């Protein structure tokens, strides 16, 4: 554990955000220590891994779109460097087409075959049409398709799918592979990962100077401390337990199905009478079906109602899903903020930096987050940092 006063960044939280920050800092030669009782098991474990800024755009979230597009651009190099640093072989399974401009990073199941957003009912088609017009106005590369054209791309779609919208530049990745690779890369670089919960921030006067560790549950007394000259708070939905950040948990239930033959060749999202669902195919035959959005505090129970809704809607779009084996069901907590944008940068308290509040897009936004914290935003992108400035809520 670093000695008091060592020039170390202490990263609190080892989800996709904290581990990415730790890895990029370590790569740039900065000593770091990660503190997390269960790295990689937070929201990042539940996430579908869509890198889909275009198909996820909503009428009120144009700033988020800018962040997402900038981060997606970084993903190919980020993934290629991570795979190399983690010692993953280039042809490790699985991945099919990493797409134009994308490094073929099969080990992380990074794929860029686009997202197909489909509509089921007449009302859904109308809503999709309005969204398409908005996307076209923003100059986003999308293609309107008839129901027949959708089925030509994805033959397993239901005959009742009425039309769709293809976002050919969207991508996706397997977040579980990403966090595992980040942990390997950190280990290979000798970065300490302290498997304990930070119970509070330590202060020297006004300055945050490390974290106190909660003792293991079996022990009484103190669990020790980790000192550093900066603390990066990356504890996802739990960040507000350590500092005054406007971050709340937003529950998402999601399931993984196992498919002997791939049912889909790209991400399919859909609205079924106003209720939305997505299906993400993995290279190893898994099909991820997600996700609910629930304001339930820190509850992570998987409920019959949540799974029913997902399967009901997924079956309307792709009837074959009901034949598949259920491999895994899980509920994760997205770190939501009042404006759905993350908090990245100095907190206002000396020694404390935020990398939290990534809500629905932490996997997508991980590369951009690291670039912001390392001051690596060239040209026009430097404006993006202001969108994420923690001071906007004070």
Ligand X SMILES: Cc1cc2nc3c(=O)[nH]c(=O)nc-3n(C[C@H](O)[C@H](O)[C@H](O)COP(=O)(O)OP(=O)(O)OC[C@H]3O[C@@H](n4cnc5c(N)ncnc54)[C@H](O)[C@@H]3O)c2cc1C
What is the binding site for ligand X (CB under 6 A)?
Answer: 12-18, 35-39, 41-44, 46-50, 197-198, 234-238, 241-242, 252, 254, 290-291, 332, 334-335, 356, 358-364
- Return the ∠ at Cα 239 (arms to 213 and 297), rounded to 5°: 115
Residue 164 or 332 having the CB closest to ligand X:
332
Q: Which is nearer to ligand X, 163 or 225 (CB)?
A: 225
Tell me the HSE value of 24 on the side-chain side, using a 13 A CA sphere: 20
Q: Closest CB to ligand X among 227 and 360?
A: 360
Q: Which residue's structure tokens are 């202490």?
A: 10
Burial of 323 (0-12, 13-18, 19+ CB in 10 A): exposed
Q: Which residue lies nearer to ligand X by CB, 210 or 361?
A: 361
Copy the structure tokens of residue 206. 């006004």
CA distance 114 to 219: 50
Nearer to ligand X, 43 or 145 (CB): 43
For ligand X, the closer CB: 35 or 263: 35
Residue whose entry in the numeric block shows the structure tokens 């914290």: 373
| Strand partners of residue 127 | none
Residue 365 CA to residue 362 CA, distance in Å, equals 5
As measured in angstroms, the least distance from the Cβ of 361 to ligand X is: 4
> Which C-beta is closer to ligand X: that of 237 or that of 324?
237
Report the run of H or E that residue 22 belongs to, with start and end.
Answer: helix 16-27
Nearest-CB residue to ligand X? 15
What is the DSSP annotation of 356-369? Answer: E--GGGHHHHHHHH
- For ligand X, the closer of residues 125 and 313 by Cβ is 313
In the complex with ligand X, which residue's Cβ is closer, 39 or 164?
Answer: 39
Counted residue by residue, the chain has a size of 394
Output the smallest distance, CB 29 to ligand X, in A. Answer: 23
Burial group, residue 237, by CB count within 10 angstroms (0-12, 13-18, 19+): buried
Least distance from C-beta 179 to ligand X, angstroms? 8
Shortest approach of ligand X to residue 110 CB, angstroms? 13
**Shortest Cβ distance from residue 257 to ligand X (Å)?**
15
At its nearest, how many Å lie between ligand X and the CB of residue 180? 13
Quote the distance between the C-alpha of residue 345 and its chain's center: 18
Distance CA 313, CA 158 (A): 11
Residue 172: partners with Cβ closer than 8 Å, 6 or more residues away: 48, 49, 50, 51, 52, 109, 110, 111, 267, 280
Nearer to ligand X, 16 or 384 (CB): 16
Quote the least distance from Cβ 369 to ligand X, whole Å.
9
Minimum CB distance to ligand X, residue 365 (Å): 7
Which of the 8 DSSP states describes residue 157?
Answer: S
Q: Cβ contacts of residue 132 below 8 Å, gap of 6+?
A: 142, 144, 165
Print burial letters for 49-88: b (CB count within 10 Å at least 16), e (below 16). bbbbbbbbbeeebeebbbbbbbbbbbbbebbbbbbebbeb
User: Nearest distance from residue 234's CB to ligand X, in Å?
Assistant: 6
Q: How far is the CB of 89 from ligand X (least distance, A)?
A: 26
């Amino acid at each position: 554990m670093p000695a008091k006063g060592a020039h170390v960044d202490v990263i609190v939280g080892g989800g996709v955000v904290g581990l990415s920050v730790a890895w990029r800092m370590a790569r740039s030669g900065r000593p770091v220590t990660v503190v997390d009782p269960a790295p990689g098991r937070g929201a990042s474990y539940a996430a579908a891994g869509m890198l889909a800024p275009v198909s996820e755009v909503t009428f009120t979230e144009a700033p988020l779109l800018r962040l997402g597009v900038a981060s997606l651009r970084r993903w190919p190099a980020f993934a290629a460097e991570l795979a190399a640093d983690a010692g993953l072989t280039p042809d490790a399974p699985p991945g099919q087409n990493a797409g134009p401009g994308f490094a073929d990073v099969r080990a992380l199941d990074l794929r860029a075959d686009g997202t197909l957003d489909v509509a089921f009912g007449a009302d859904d088609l109308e809503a999709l049409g309005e969204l398409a017009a908005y996307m076209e106005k923003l100059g986003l590369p999308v293609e309107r398709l008839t129901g027949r054209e959708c089925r030509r791309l994805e033959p397993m779609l239901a005959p009742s799918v009425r039309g769709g919208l293809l976002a050919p530049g969207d991508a996706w990745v397997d977040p579980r592979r990403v966090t595992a690779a980040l942990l390997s890369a950190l280990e290979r670089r000798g970065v300490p990962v302290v498997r304990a919960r930070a119970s509070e921030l330590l202060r020297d006067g006004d300055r945050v100077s490390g974290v106190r560790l909660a003792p293991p549950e079996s022990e009484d007394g103190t669990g020790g401390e980790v000192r550093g000259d900066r603390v990066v708070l990356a504890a996802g939905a739990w960040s507000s337990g350590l500092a005054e950040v406007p971050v709340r948990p937003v529950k998402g239930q999601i399931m993984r199905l196992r498919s002997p033959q791939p049912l889909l060749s790209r991400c399919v999202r859909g609205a079924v009478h106003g209720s939305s669902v997505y299906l993400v195919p993995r290279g190893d035959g898994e099909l991820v079906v997600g996700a609910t959005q629930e304001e339930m505090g820190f509850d992570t129970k998987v409920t019959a109602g949540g799974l029913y809704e997902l399967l009901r809607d997924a079956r309307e779009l792709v009837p074959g899903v009901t034949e598949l084996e259920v491999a895994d069901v899980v509920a994760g907590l997205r770190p939501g903020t009042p404006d759905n944008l993350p908090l990245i940068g100095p907190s206002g308290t000396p020694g404390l930096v935020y990398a939290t509040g990534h809500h629905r897009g932490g996997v997508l936004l991980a590369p951009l987050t690291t670039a912001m914290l390392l001051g690596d935003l060239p040209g026009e992108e430097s404006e993006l940092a202001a969108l994420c400035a923690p001071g906007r809520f004070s």
